[in-house]
Amino acid sequence: MMKNGRVLLAAPLVMSMFSPFVYAEPLDGRGEGDLSRFLFGNALQQYGIDASVLLDVGYGRNNRSTHEERKYGNSNAPIPGQDDEGFEFQSVNLFVDKQLNSNILPRVTPLPGPVPQDVSFGFSVGVIYGRNAQFPRTFGWDAHWKINEPGASDIESSIRHRQNYLAVQNLFATAYLPYGPGITLWAGIFGPAMGYEIGPNLRDGRNNFSTRTYAFISEPNTLSGVMAGTRLYSGEAGLLGAELGLVSGWNNLRDNNDTPSVTGALRWRTSDMQTWVDYEFIVGNEQNKSFADVQAPTALVVSPRGQLKQQHSINGWHAFNAQWSMGAEAVYGRQDGDGRPDTVDIITGPGFSGAEWWGVNANLTYQYRKNLSFSGRIEHFDDKQGFILYPLSAARGAINSVTTGVRYDVTRNLSLRPEIRYDWQSDSNDKAFGNGRNQSQLTGVVEALVYF
């Protein structure tokens, strides 16, 4: 099995290297915004508004599920990003943004250049529909919209029917105030930009692969609240930015324990933007106060007392030259539990005494041509108590993975991303793959991204 696995892991690289005739140089420019320009001309751009659509579809198979299991959803689990086998309508995304005139991009990076001297206002709207919209829903907002039922309340129904979901994961206002080094504010519901990978498969995003890391699963999908960011330093040593805010917990607008969480980041960039390092965190009580209101699967602990949950990520990226680049991440998280009889994990029962998890991952990319790149990724993720990866997995111990993939930009509107991935467990007697039958899995995926 392992010998065959190594051959399959190399297949995307070998096929592309021996097939240079299959790709064409992309047309000038990018396809993002083609639809809005067709419908409205330049009317939106005159107001500084950008609008675009991203269609994300894929086809995947693994060597562990049965013929019957492939008929239903989540048969690739616990691998995230391509949960279903066969064809999967992963998502269609709508992005509408009015950018600020600021010296930082909120949740992204500090920017070089002088401090802007004028007040600026903006907004961001991000809507996602499809299979991948299941997890970025927000309690107290879109989690239980009628369009998301019955799957929102019955996960087994969602699996049987491969239900699609609707989520508005970005809905926030932004403002820039020219005080001191400049202050940027944003308030509303937003993706946290925590960890190396980000939610949508934006062309310039950090997502080199069709499937995601286990570290990505361990991080919150949405936050709601108020945040502020500023550029602390700009000089020969590079750029340093900071962000800090109060939010209503993980994936939450209606926090059912009445205590906010604190989130923030430090972001450093070299002056040429060819190297960056981020530290990001979120800390706060995440227990449900009672069984009358359990916000699962995000919050699995019920307790009348505060039970602190925290997540920390250090991640970075470096371009060695025009062809070679590398990214890496280390994460650590913990959910506290005081062990009392009325502190209950809804999966394992009363007397919950805490859980912790940690992981490391790294990826290497070779930009062979302008429209063709090859990437490899390795990961080790240890979910000691089988806590943070639920509901995709409740297996205790470590999961390891190695992935090889290709990105081929066929045209200004279409990109293809085939990949092969091998996952295996270590330091565990639990079985995470094949519906609880196996400790390893080989998965192949071909993804198409359509930008317009």
Per residue in 116-132, pLDDT tens? 999 999 999 999 999 99
Radius of gyration of the chain (CA): 22
Structure tokens at 197: 């990978």
| pLDDT of residue 29 exceeding 90 | no
Q: What percent of the chain has pLDDT over 90?
A: 92
State mean pLDDT over 354-360. 98
Looking at residue 193, its pLDDT comes to 86
Per residue in 176-231, pLDDT tens? 999 999 999 999 999 998 999 998 999 988 899 999 999 999 999 999 999 999 99
The answer to whether the CB of 155 falls within 8 A of the CB of 390 is: no
State mean pLDDT over 137-156. 95
Looking at residue 28, its pLDDT comes to 61
- Give CA–CA dist 210/82, Å, rounded: 7
- What are the residue ranges spanned by the domains of the chain? 2-451
State mean pLDDT over 374-390. 97
Looking at residue 92, its pLDDT comes to 98
State mean pLDDT over 321-338. 98
- Give CA–CA dist 40/42, Å, rounded: 6
The answer to whether the CB of 189 falls within 8 A of the CB of 168 is: yes
Looking at residue 129, its pLDDT comes to 98
The answer to whether the CB of 284 falls within 8 A of the CB of 266 is: no
* 9 pLDDT tier (thresholds 50, 70, 90): very low
| pLDDT of residue 6 exceeding 80 | no
| pLDDT of residue 20 exceeding 90 | no
Per residue in 193-205, pLDDT tens? 899 999 899 998 8
* 394 pLDDT tier (thresholds 50, 70, 90): very high
- Give CA–CA dist 42/34, Å, rounded: 11
* 43 pLDDT tier (thresholds 50, 70, 90): very high
pTM for this model (two decimals)? 0.91
State mean pLDDT over 132-161. 95
| pLDDT of residue 239 exceeding 50 | yes
State mean pLDDT over 307-323. 98
- Give CA–CA dist 195/353, Å, rounded: 26
Across the chain, mean pLDDT equals 93
The answer to whether the CB of 56 falls within 8 A of the CB of 447 is: yes
- Give CA–CA dist 90/43, Å, rounded: 31
> In CATH, what number does 2-451 get?
2.40.160.10
Q: Count CA within 13 A, CB hemisphere, residue 267.
A: 25
| pLDDT of residue 25 exceeding 60 | no
